[in-house]
């Protein structure tokens, strides 16, 4: 019972924060992808 209620609270908090977390992750992923593309452009794709 304790595990399920903790899980429920966690999921509720996660839903509330989801939009900001997702946008933050997407921003980070876009920055990482940009860096990787820049590396590929300058160094060429590794075999």
Q: Quick one: pLDDT band at residue 7, thresholds 50, 70, 90? A: confident
Q: What is the pLDDT of residues 17-41, one digit of tens each?
A: 777 777 778 888 898 899 988 888 8
Nearest to 3 by CA among 16, 11, 13, 14: 11
**CA 40, 42, 31: angle at the middle one, nearest 5?**
55
The two structure tokens encoding residue 5 = 């209620």
The two structure tokens encoding residue 7 = 């899980």
Residue 44 has what DSSP assignment? -
Q: Quick one: pLDDT band at residue 10, thresholds 50, 70, 90? A: confident
């Amino acid at each position: 019972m304790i595990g399920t209620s903790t899980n429920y609270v966690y999921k509720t908090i996660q839903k509330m924060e989801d939009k900001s977390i997702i946008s933050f992750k997407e921003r980070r992923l876009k920055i990482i992808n940009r860096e990787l593309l820049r590396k590929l452009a300058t160094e060429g794709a590794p075999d």
